[in-house]
């Protein structure tokens, strides 16, 4: 479920307090870890209340991850790794690809770490799967994903390629349609 805001009301001599969440939350059966949401009040590190410091540090530890294990769909971890899943050496030795990133000269590019098992024939490479880990707050909802993919199909089917509102099938002429498109789910 996507949670937008929490409004705390009913305090004596106080206006309601709104906490903007804008985040996905999951069932306690999927993820038993409790979530913490913070108000938009900013503090300098030296002025942050001690109880809040502890909660913020715990939240940062959750978001950073511990660098082990395969990512689960409900996790919100921003843990990065090198591109070591470009090839498929287990299916064919000719499909082995170099690891991109991770050295002193070229530390980037990086991607979200998945924690998938290593290939049998190349321990520097991860195995391939059809499921890609994306932190939940960064991924499209299923409805929005289908909406975007549906627009691509409609655009592609109309004349064997992208088209514009006036029926123009030239390359790149479809950009005004996508720019003006507003999804049903906001």
H or E element in which residue 158 lies: helix 142-159
What is the Cβ-side half-sphere exposure of residue 132, based on CA atoms within 13 angstroms?
9
pLDDT, tens digit only, all 186 positions of the chain: 788 999 988 888 888 888 888 888 888 888 888 888 887 788 888 888 888 998 888 888 888 888 888 887 778 778 888 888 888 899 999 999 988 888 888 788 888 888 888 999 999 898 887 766 666 656 666 666 676 666 555 544 444 444 444 444 444 444 444 444 444 443
Domain count, the chain: 3
Q: CATH no. for residue 19? A: 2.60.60.20
Nearest to 122 by CA among 153, 88, 168: 88
pTM score over 0.85: no
Same domain for 38 and 91: no
**pLDDT computed for residue 144 by the predictor:** 66
Q: CATH no. for residue 115? A: 4.10.375.10
Q: Is residue 36 part of a domain?
A: yes
Extended beta strands in the chain, E state: 2-8, 17-24, 80-81, 111-112
**pLDDT computed for residue 122 by the predictor:** 92
Same domain for 130 and 81: yes
Q: Which residues pair with 20 in a beta bridge?
A: 5
Q: Is residue 185 part of a domain?
A: no
Please say whether the beta carbons of 127 and 108 come within 8 A.
no
């Amino acid at each position: 479920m996507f949670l937008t805001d929490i409004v705390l009301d009913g305090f004596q001599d106080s206006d309601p307090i709104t906490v903007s969440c804008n985040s996905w939350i999951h069932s306690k059966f999927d993820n038993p870890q409790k979530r913490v949401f913070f108000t938009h009040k900013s503090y300098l590190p030296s002025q942050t209340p001690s109880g809040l410091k502890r909660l913020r540090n715990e939240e940062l530890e959750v978001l950073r991850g511990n660098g082990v294990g395969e990512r689960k769909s409900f996790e919100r971890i921003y843990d990065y790794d090198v591109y070591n899943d470009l090839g498929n050496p287990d299916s064919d030795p000719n499909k082995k690809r170099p690891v991109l990133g991770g050295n002193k000269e070229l530390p980037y590019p990086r991607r979200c770490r998945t924690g998938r098992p290593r290939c049998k024939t190349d321990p520097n490479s991860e195995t391939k799967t059809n499921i890609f880990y994306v932190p939940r707050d960064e991924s499209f909802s299923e409805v929005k994903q289908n909406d975007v993919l549906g627009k691509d199909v409609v655009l592609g089917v109309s004349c064997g390629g992208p088209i514009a509102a006036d029926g123009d099938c030239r390359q790149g002429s479809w950009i005004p349609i996508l720019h003006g498109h507003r999804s049903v789910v906001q």
